[in-house]
Amino acid sequence: MNAVDDWVWDRIAETYVFNEEMRRWFTEVNPYALEQIIKRLYEAHERGGLWHTSEDVIRKLREIYTELENALEGIGQWGGR
């Protein structure tokens, strides 16, 4: 049994990463906080299976993370999609 249930991780991803309005707010106010949230979600999935979720969710996290990183490094534009 994990200390944090999967539904909690799911809700964090839905609220802070996949919600377009919230993601847009983070990118304007503190994109590095959004980056850390995504990293922690990914780490929870990869490290010992703390978060069991679909590969589709992980793929979406990777896509958003890559887009955010590129924008932070000045490689691409961040739409906050």
* Per-residue pLDDT reduced to its tens digit, 1-42: 678 999 999 999 999 999 999 999 998 899 999 999 999 999
| Residue 51 within any structural domain of the chain | yes
| Residue 58 within any structural domain of the chain | yes
Domain housing 16: 6-72
| Residue 77 within any structural domain of the chain | no
DSSP state of 48: T
| Residue 54 within any structural domain of the chain | yes
| Number of domains into which the chain is organized | 1
| Residue 78 within any structural domain of the chain | no
According to the model, what pLDDT value does residue 21 have? 97
Q: Are 70 and 35 in contact (CB under 8 A)?
A: no
Q: Which amino acid is at 25?
A: W
